[in-house]
């Protein structure tokens, strides 16, 4: 059974208390059709890390993510509608399919 989800990718400014310096990270949230999250957001070093995961586990195309990169760079946020094969794909993305 296919599952409709929305991947939300955000640019985040975080603070490293050990180093005492700010740094940028990219977060990934996964929402169901009602807008409920499948657990807490995940953090990555860069947009490319999220793109690699989405291509591998969700079947998103490279071309789609390349288009999303320009939106992400302008707006610090991009939402991508995806149709996953099954709930196992949600787990493969690092989220809890039962959380939403």
Claim: this prediction has a pTM higher than 0.85 = yes
Q: Decide: 22 and 15 in contact? Cβ < 8 Å.
A: yes
> Is 99 within the bounds of a domain?
no
Q: How many domains does the chain divide into?
A: 1
For the chain, what's the residue count?
100
Comparing CA positions, the residue from 42, 57, 39, 22 lying closest to residue 96 is: 39
> Is 98 within the bounds of a domain?
no
> Is 31 within the bounds of a domain?
yes
The 3-state secondary structure of 64-78, one letter per residue: HHHHHHHHHHHHCEE
3-state secondary structure of 90: helix
To the nearest whole number, what is the mean pLDDT of the chain?
94
> Is 97 within the bounds of a domain?
no
pLDDT of 100 strictly over 80: no
Comparing CA positions, the residue from 39, 37, 45 lying closest to residue 14 is: 45
% of the chain beyond a pLDDT of 90:
94
């Amino acid at each position: 059974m296919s599952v409709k989800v929305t991947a939300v990718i955000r640019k985040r400014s975080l603070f490293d208390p050990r180093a005492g310096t700010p740094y940028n990270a990219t977060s990934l949230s996964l929402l169901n059709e009602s807008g409920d999250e499948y657990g807490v957001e995940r953090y990555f070093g860069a947009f490319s890390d999220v793109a690699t995961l989405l291509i591998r586990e969700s079947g998103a195309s490279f071309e789609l993510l390349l288009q999303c990169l320009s939106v992400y760079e302008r707006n610090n946020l991009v939402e991508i509608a995806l149709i996953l094969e099954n709930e196992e794909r949600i787990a493969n993305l690092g989220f809890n399919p039962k959380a939403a």
